Chain A
Amino acid sequence: MMPNTTSTTPLIELRGVHRQFEVDGVVLPVLQDINLSVNPNEIICLVGESGCGKTTTGKIIAGLLGQSSGEVLVGGKPREQYTGPERSVLRRQLQIVHQDPFASLNPAHTIGDILSFPLKRHKLVKDRADLRRRIWELLTLVDLTPPGDIVNKYPHQLSGGQRQRVSIARALTVQPKLIVADEAVSMVDVSIRVSILKTLHRLKDELGLAIVFITHDLALAKYFAWEGRIGVMYLGRMVEIGPTPDMILNPQHPYTRALMAAVPEADPDITRRKKHIELRSDEIPRLSEIPHGCAFHPRCPQFLGGKCDVIVPPLLPVPGVTQTVACVNLTPATVGD
């Protein structure tokens, strides 16, 4: 089910988005020049190491953070132009599921309460009977069955996996078109993880959701987004993005290649035969000291002096492959200012 990228209006589009934070008087450019569109019913995985900006991107998409500059278009229209009731509808369309289900659910409320607040706030139910019916429906939708066993419980009475399902149900209360899942299964055990991912997949198909899945686990990204796209971020920039199979089997950017090569595999034979890529440095530069030119150049094995440390590579298509890549050694030398 690949969405047709040419004819559909993206659900949300980030154009040249920058975001900076000021910490103790130091300006940290957490995101630089992000261009990304998410189509209806699409899965996009954002991967990268800590500090690469994947969570910030997710929060901007979900509308929890504004951009410092650049444009965020929702349904083709700048987000700032939505006002009044229209803005409320917009907020409902974009939801987020956080990493830690222990922190994201209020311990003083029952699961029923947690799900009823957004339903009442947005007047999505007519009366008490309707409310109850809708809560039952939501719990069933996320495989928390029978709902009667769950609805009067408090978060601490549920397992981590169940709590994460409640978070997903809460995101679904307002009938969103897109869910940002930020490391949504990284705190859950291996055995439970797969079933939550399967639930998300089913919801995508049944409700036509788009999912932005943020993870540091490449194997998980591959599994979850096989029919979608993966975007790799490094120090606040997108360095490569493309269809998942090509990203995994034929990565282009030296950083993506290094990541893919570095990951151990849950298969002794495959992992023993893997060729690792030696980087020139093991350390990630600080965000306050982002290297000039390509931010990856101090570590890149294909570093070319006078080029990589000068030019900031734009994200461009690479001839012969489906990905777009930010590397001056791979893309034709068209360098804008």
Chain B
Amino acid sequence: MSISPEIVLSVRNLSVSYLAKRGRVRAVNNVSFDLRKGETLALIGESGCGKSTLNLALIRQLPITGSIDSGQILYTRPDGQTVDVVSMRKEALRQFLWADCAMVFQGALNSLNPVLRVRDLVYDTAKAHRLNKAEARRRAFELFQKVRLDPARVFNAYPHELSGGMRQRVLLALALLLRPQIVIMDEPTTAVDILTQRSILDVIEQLKAEFGFSVIFISHDLAVAAEIADTVATMYAGEIIEIGPVDEVFYRSRHAYSLALLNAAPRLSTGQEELLSIPGSPPDLIEPPTGCKFHPRCAFAVEVCKTTPPPLIMPEPGHRVACHETDRVMAHNNRKITT
């Protein structure tokens, strides 16, 4: 498989399962995607769709009951060398995390050790990755400034002395300490208020422009995805069922589930609008439905959907979708770009 120099991460046919009492839970099933340099990929979907499991698999931090069953996670280093994260040994993985691929989790308070000052976190990271203390401090101060924090105050503070928004920005700054190529963000703006969310989104945008890292952004919030993403991947029952440029997925959605999600999401400045709910509930991942896993809830389902899983087709370059009824779905999307 050849990998273009533009691609930093190439995930191929990744499957992850958890062992449960009733059997194997296929949480991520045959997922493939590429992440380009500087690209923001938003993974959207409802709880239980496998987006957080996918994220944990990418950084090999699955809980003990979970395992990667098959597939590759090909990471291309800045020097052009490509390595498979799935087969990395302990020490190589330890170096890969944070230095090459950093994470920002939801709920900043749980991600920061309450008995350590922010500066201890900075120095710990520096020590683990052989960065000297003075340089670590210099970089931390620079990054805190960039995320609109008062460096001197934050550097010596304990997590509880900072507000939720400040903590989330501290995490962003810490994630960038070792200049990673990839930052994975799992619902970073979910537990925060509107204006705090705004400042975090603005800060992410500004940092991206400056450092050029790629982002995998996990969210159930379509509005945040619409704003921040270059590429959107919709996940359902452990599979990426549609992936494409943000405008393609929002304005020319070809998968019935993507369209259903859009039809259920209210927009603020569009005046009165009619929303549609999705009937039923997400499927059981131990014994998923036959055919297309979405068919029991799908308004477009026809006979073939019940028996045959739809293949992933590419109707436009860069836009892939797994749905038997793409044309009918697309005809039903009434969203338009007005400019």
Q: Give me the interface of A with B, judged by CB distance under 8 Å.
A: 49-50, 159, 161, 189-195, 197-198, 216, 218-220, 222-223, 226, 245, 248-249, 258-260, 262-274, 276, 279, 282-284
Contacts and interface: CB of A to CB of B under 8 A. Distances in A.
Interface string B47-63: 10000000000000000
B283 to A, nearest CB: 12
A267 B335 contact: yes
B196 A282 contact: yes
The 10 A-B residue pairs whose C-beta atoms are closest, nearest first, are A191-B278, A195-B277, A262-B198, A49-B193, A194-B277, A223-B266, A264-B223, A219-B266, A266-B222, A266-B265
Given A191-B46, A271-B223, A284-B163, A50 B266 contact: no
Contacts of B196: 49, 282
Contact of A266 (B166, B266, B338, B339): B266
Contact of B223 (A50, A263, A282): A263
B277 A262 contact: no
B260 A267 contact: no
A219 B148 contact: no
B267 to A, nearest CB: 5
Nearest to B268: A219
Contacts of A218: 194, 268
Contact of B226 (A189, A245, A249, A264): A264
Given A265-B268, A272-B227, 9 more contacts: A190-B265, A192-B281, A223-B273, A258-B195, A263-B223, A265-B227, A266-B265, A270-B267, A284-B163
Nearest to B149: A282
B26 to A, nearest CB: 20
A120 B339 CA distance: 60
Q: Summarize A's interface: helix, strand, loop or mixed.
A: helix
Contacts of B110: none
Nearest to A51: B193
A284 B165 CA distance: 10
B3 interface: no
Contacts of A220: 266
A266 B193 contact: no
Contacts of A193: 264, 277
Contacts of A264: 197, 201, 221, 223-224, 226-228
Interface in B160-213: 163, 165-166, 193-199, 201-202
A283 B163 CA distance: 8
B77 to A, nearest CB: 32
A190 B264 contact: yes
B198 A219 contact: no
B83 to A, nearest CB: 34
B164 to A, nearest CB: 8
Contact of B199 (A192, A248, A260, A282): A282
B337 A249 contact: no
A262 B275 CA distance: 22
A191 B236 CA distance: 12
Contacts of A197: 275
A257 B55 CA distance: 36
B220 interface: yes
Contacts of B220: 189-190
Contacts, number: 133
Given A262-B197, A270-B270, A283-B163, A190 B247 contact: no
Nearest to B193: A49
Contacts of B193: 49-50, 216, 284
B66 to A, nearest CB: 22
A168 to B, nearest CB: 15
A259 B197 CA distance: 11
Nearest to A217: B266
Interface in B47-101: 47
B195 A279 contact: yes
A197 B262 CA distance: 16
A248 B266 CA distance: 13
16 contacts: A189-B47, A190-B261, A192-B281, A220-B266, A222-B266, A248-B268, A263-B198, A266-B266, A266-B267, A267-B267, A268-B337, A270-B270, A270-B338, A271-B226, A273-B339, A282-B199
Contacts of B228: 264
Given A219-B266, A271-B223, A194 B275 contact: yes
B276 interface: yes
B335 to A, nearest CB: 6
B246 interface: yes
A48 B63 CA distance: 37
B217 interface: no
Interface in B119-150: 148
A93 B159 CA distance: 44
A262 B195 contact: yes
B148 A282 contact: yes
B271 interface: yes
B269 interface: yes
A212 to B, nearest CB: 19
Contacts of B281: 159, 161, 192
A265 B47 CA distance: 20
B46 A194 contact: no
B250 A259 contact: no
Contacts of B266: 219-220, 222-223, 266
A270 to B, nearest CB: 6
A140 to B, nearest CB: 17
A279 B195 CA distance: 9
B276 A194 contact: yes
Contacts of B2: none
Q: Counting chain B CB atoms within 10 Å of each CB, which of A193, A194, A245 scores highest?
A: A194
